[in-house]
Each structure stands twice: as C-alpha cells, then as structure tokens.
Amino acid sequence: NAGVMQNPRHLVRRRGQEARLRCSPMKGHSHVYWYRQLPEEGLKFMVYLQKENIIDESGMPKERFSAEFPKEGPSILRIQQVVRGDSAAYFCASSPYREGPDGYTFGSGTRLTVV
C-alpha cells in the first residue's frame, strides 16, 4: 500500500522555464492538498483539489501557478516562467475525506531549484 508519491524528488529549472510537479495520492484517496515550504519557513497552503475540481485555491499565486487533478492520473502543480523565488520544497498530501483526515500524510516532496 504505497503512500503519497511525488515526483520528481528534485527538479532544476532555469528562469523562464516551466516546472511540472506530480502527486499520486494514496489508493482510494480523491482529495489532494498542495503546500509549499520556503527555506527556513513553515508550510504554506496552496490549493485543495478533488478529482476534476479545484475546491480551494486561496493560497495559490494568481499568476504563473496552476493545478489540476484529472479523473485519471496524478495531480499536477504547474509553474510557468519560473523565477528564483519559486525555489522551494513542494509537498502534497491526500485524504479520502472532504473534511480532511486526522492530520495529513505528506509525500516526500519535490525540491525545486531555479537557477
């Protein structure tokens, strides 16, 4: 029973390129949450998705960032035209419930470095 799977583990992009981060939830989970952690900072909520729906994107920057969770396949967090300030660790968590589990189980994260 695999946990939350994220890939790639490490991603290096040059400024202006696109970054695609993937998150496969635990089996049977249809709710996905994305968080970003800047160096030496706490986790900041970005977006909550259910299959084919964005439920809460209040933490997502209005420009360059988008997220999806299609009917089939992993959830994708997409960052267009990356800048140095996008360098961070991006974590996702999944849940079988709308109200969230008794705490999240996070994937191992994707560490994005923009050079």
Applying CB under 8 A, the residues found at the interface with other proteins are: 33, 35, 41-45, 48, 55-56, 58-59, 91, 98-100, 102-109
- According to DSSP, residue 30 is labeled -
Q: Is 68 exposed, middle or buried (0-12, 13-18, 19+ CB in 10 A)?
A: middle
Distance spanning both ends of the chain, measured CA to CA:
36
CB of 14 to other proteins, least distance (A): 23
**CB of residue 73 to other proteins, shortest distance in Å:** 22
Three-state SS at 67: strand
Whole-number Å distance between alpha carbons of 5 and 111:
14
Name which of 14 and 62 has its Cβ closer to other proteins. Answer: 62
Smaller CB distance to other proteins: residue 15 or 98? 98
* Residue 38 beta carbon to other proteins: minimum distance, rounded to whole angstroms: 10
